[in-house]
């Protein structure tokens, strides 16, 4: 399995991964009914660098990276990662996160920030913590979970040492 | 002085307020060289509700309000406020913030979040705190200030009681 930049040819595979995550509404603050074109326009937009986890031709995950703010905030990257439901438990999210840290550093970013980690997404939070991300903020009841109701969201942050 | 929705006729006045703030690069994470059309497209974009502080026909401040996230995060508003440099010290920012709290509540929002308050903007931080906003996160060295170098940015949050 290797990480490579996404191309237009990957769009169908990327949507097959993003779609169920968006539809579940449990981890991303995106409209559950978001259509494929809007989701791909967002995920592969011009401000984003988008990658796929390619396992011998099968796309098992995707992530995107962009500046989290403009101007005086453009040295901090923001990333989003989604693993194919059928491929969970194989360390793909960790591989994508490792890749994003190295890539962000190579691009000159000084940190990566996650703006909105749903507090019930405990596996993800533990994973990001194990990769050096710290919880730097807690947003009270900022996420409406489809079954759990209003839950907190977390802001997580990792400073990057220079390349 | 009263707050009212902005119209296209206000664009020149709004830019006369936004422009110096953007050019200074001290408080907003926007490109210092951002041109008028881009700034107005951002400030008055379709996702935003934009207001002006109208002092007998003179525009002395402007603010905008939008959902801070989509989907499960759309019940939290985000606001940005800018006061005309020449009109500072007259309580205009406070009036705009009060208006935004009432307006957000009337729209059914359950909270207002500021994602990126530059930590050196101490007057603003004190003002937001006096209006019930709490610092819920600190982003280490996330803002490059034009004269002070890398400084922290804060995440501030205020829960709204129902209307």
Task: Check: pTM over 0.90? Answer yes or no.
Answer: yes
Q: What is the mean pLDDT of chain A?
A: 96
Distance (Å) of CA A153 to CA A70, A81, A118, A125: 23, 16, 4, 11
- Closest CA in chain A for residue B31: A71
Is a pLDDT exceeding 80 seen at residue A140? yes
Q: Is beta strand A111-118 parallel, antiparallel or unpaired with respect to A76-83? A: parallel
Q: At residue B44, what are phi and psi to the nearest 5 degrees?
A: -110, 25
Q: What is the mean pLDDT of residues A114-130?
A: 97
Is a pLDDT exceeding 90 seen at residue B163? no
Q: Are A108 and A76 in contact (CB under 8 A)?
A: no
Residue B161 pLDDT: 84
Angstroms from B143 CA to nearest CA on chain A: 5
Question: What part of B 133-152 touches A (C-beta under 8 Å)?
Answer: 136-146, 150
Q: What ipTM describes this predicted complex?
A: 0.94
Residue B149 pLDDT: 98
Domain boundaries, chain A: 2-159
Residue A163 pLDDT: 62
B107 pLDDT tier (thresholds 50, 70, 90)? very high
Residue A161 pLDDT: 83
Closest to A69 (Cα-Cα) out of B16, B47, B144: B144
pLDDT digits (tens, 9 = 90+) for B48-99: 999 999 999 999 999 999 999 999 999 999 999 999 999 989 999 999 999 9
Closest to A28 (Cα-Cα) out of B76, B70, B75: B70
Angstroms from A50 CA to nearest CA on chain B: 21
Give the sign of the dihedral formed by CA B99, CA B104, CA B107, CA B108. negative
A38 contacts in chain B (CB < 8 Å): none
Nearest Cβ partner for A73 among B74, B116, B157: B116
Nearest Cβ partner for B73 among A29, A136, A146: A29
Q: What is the CATH number of domain B2-159?
A: 3.40.630.30
């Amino acid at each position: 399995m290797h990480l490579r930049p996404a191309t237009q040819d990957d769009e169908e595979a990327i949507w097959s991964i993003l779609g169920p995550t968006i539809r579940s509404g449990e981890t991303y603050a995106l409209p559950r009914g978001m259509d494929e074109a809007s989701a791909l326009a967002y995920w592969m937009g011009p401000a984003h660098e988008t990658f796929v986890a390619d396992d011998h031709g099968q796309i098992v995950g995707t992530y995107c990276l962009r500046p989290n703010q403009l101007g005086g905030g453009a040295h901090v990257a923001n990333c989003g990662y989604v693993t194919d439901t059928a491929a969970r438990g194989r360390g793909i999210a960790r591989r994508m996160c490792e890749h994003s840290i190295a890539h962000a550093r190579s691009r000159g970013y000084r940190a990566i920030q996650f703006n909105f980690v749903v507090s019930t997404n405990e596996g993800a939070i533990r994973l990001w913590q194990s990769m050096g991300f710290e919880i730097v903020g807690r947003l009270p009841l900022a996420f409406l979970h489809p079954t759990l109701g209003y839950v907190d969201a977390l802001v997580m942050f990792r400073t990057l040492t220079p390349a």
